[in-house]
Amino acid sequence: MSMKYKTKQQITFYRNIKIIILSLMMIYCIYQISHYIYNSYCNNKLNSQLQELHIDNTQETKTSENNINNSEKLKSKEDAKINFKDLLAINSEVVGWIKIQDTNINYPVVKGKDNEYYLNHNIKKESSASGSIFMDYRNKVNEEDLNTIIYGHNMKDGSMFKTLTSYKEEDFLINHPIIELTTLNKITKWEIFSVYITDTSFNYIRTNFENEEDYGSFLSTLKNKSTHDVGINVTSDDVILTLSTCTYEFYDARFAIHARLIRE
């Protein structure tokens, strides 16, 4: 066999190998894109179903409340729990519902035994790249923690906590200053006092503090880090809500929002 013929065979062989590799890469890319689109579709469909369920239950509760007097309306834990009975039937780890008016943030909140599980599991405990909106496992839910923390993914399809990154713009903050969090036994509203980009080296998700001075210093740090000054003062008498999601300005970047409880 001539050297020229061998060289031609080798060229054909390597060309075929390249074609196979490129074909496999293309198949993998198509699979990844298809998987993402399917996950996005399933996640959005589930969220729509949950929102309809929540709305239906809320309307039922409001109707029943019309039949009782005002003093009973907001004091009964059992009435508040009616809103969550179907959600709790889906997942007993549901602890609340978070909503920001005129945005797509309108989701149930779950709480697991760690901060890992619900990163890639939905409310039905099915594997999901979108994960769930979940509360820090260290929070006590039924007690008034100094810093209640809720996490969610920044999904490219606009779902979960993607909308939080809109708070990078001051106008969006001015127009959407209030976060609503309904737990199993009460409805709370929180006003935002700080938004900023940080990295994981800054411990903005603290839940324990040595004393009042330590907590007050922590609050001052959060306020000073804010990219927008909204003129809201916070003191050690306040309790706060922290929302956290990923952002992509640099490696390990996080976007944090802090709000103080509006007391009745």
Listed by start position, the domains of the chain span 3-261
Residue type at 192?
I
Phi/psi-derived region of residue 141, left when phi > 0, alpha when psi is between -120 and 50, beta in every other case = left
Confidence class for position 66, pLDDT limits 50, 70, 90 = very low
Catalytic residues: 153, 246
Confidence class for position 60, pLDDT limits 50, 70, 90 = very low
The answer to whether 160 and 246 have CB atoms below 8 angstroms apart is no
- At 257 the three-state DSSP class reads strand
- Helix (H) / strand (E) element for 77: namely helix 77-82
The stretch 213-217 carries a mean pLDDT of 98
Q: Looking at 38-42, 124-128, 197-201, 229-233, which range is the least confident one?
A: 38-42
Task: Give 218 or 45, the one with higher predicted confidence.
Answer: 218
How many CA atoms lie less than 13 Å away from 60 in the CB half-sphere? 14
Task: Give residue 21's pLDDT.
Answer: 78
- pLDDT tens, residue by residue, 139-164: 998 778 999 999 999 998 888 999 99
Q: What is the number of residues in the chain? A: 264
Task: Give residue 78's pLDDT.
Answer: 41
Task: Give residue 261's pLDDT.
Answer: 96
Indicate the average pLDDT of the chain: 83
CATH number for the segment(s) 3-261: 2.40.260.10
Predicted TM-score (pTM) of this structure: 0.76
Q: Residue 33 and residue 203: Cα distance in Å, rounded?
A: 35
